[in-house]
Amino acid sequence: MRFRPCIDLHGGRVKQLVGSTVGDPGGPRENFVTDLPAAHYASMFRRDGLTGGHVIMLGPGNEGEALSALTAWPGGMQLGGGVGPGNAAAFLEAGASHVIVTSYVFPDGRPDMGRLREMGRIAGKGRLVIDLSCAAVGGEYVVAMGGWSRLTETVLDAGLMGALAEHCDEFLIHAVDKEGKRGGVDAGLIALCAEGSPIPVTYAGGVRDMGDIEAIMAHGKGRVDYTVGSALDVFGGSLPYAALAVMGKGPIGPRDGGGRD
């Protein structure tokens, strides 16, 4: 289990938002906003040897900051948010280790395998991450798109993860109902990731203290990596970044052999 750092961009600035409000007409609820550039955080992650994190562009007006972060930590971070066949190669050439896709491969709320294969041809399986962020609905987890504001018809389960894993290197999964609320993690979703994913998966959402990190370890059986946003002291919270940075240097979660026993 490894800590993966993150940089969320909204309106051209580094922010931490409440995930479920990203699509609200009046704008999202902000937990943290800074005038420090994205490159500042990327340089910090580079200094501390943290790889496998991600830069997420939440809406338009963020590309310049995203590119500056990739330049500051070339090969050290993944890039997501509006990624498709028209820009994936450019982001990889600019320094992204991987590109992260959701909406493009779920055009009608269901995975389009033709589009997924197209992205694989452009990025290569080893440099492609699929975002399967989801919300809890009726005892299941349903994939969300469009800044997490639109639920699809796709249920997250072991079958889906197994099929998609043939075409990508990792999954990124935010618990949309928990994201930005610092109210505790989604144990059920973490367990599902641990048991159902045959490739590395990063969980995000709800972390507030070290007890939640321990819960991710327990429910994820050490197989699920994690990211922390609003709770980190460098993003206005109280959880020490320095302590988690030490945990970010271990091996990435399981490949070849899968998450299931």
Which uninterrupted H or E stretch holds 99?
Answer: strand 99-101
pLDDT digits 0-9 by tens, 179-220? 766 779 999 999 999 999 999 999 999 999 999 999 999 999
Residue 237 has which token pair? 């919270």
pLDDT digits 0-9 by tens, 146-183? 766 678 889 999 999 999 999 999 999 999 888 766 77
Q: CA angle, 235 as apex, 232 and 238 as ends, to 5°? A: 40
Residue 34 to residues 8, 38, 110, 153, Cα–Cα distance (Å): 11, 10, 36, 36
Residue 250 DSSP symbol: S
Give the pTM: 0.91
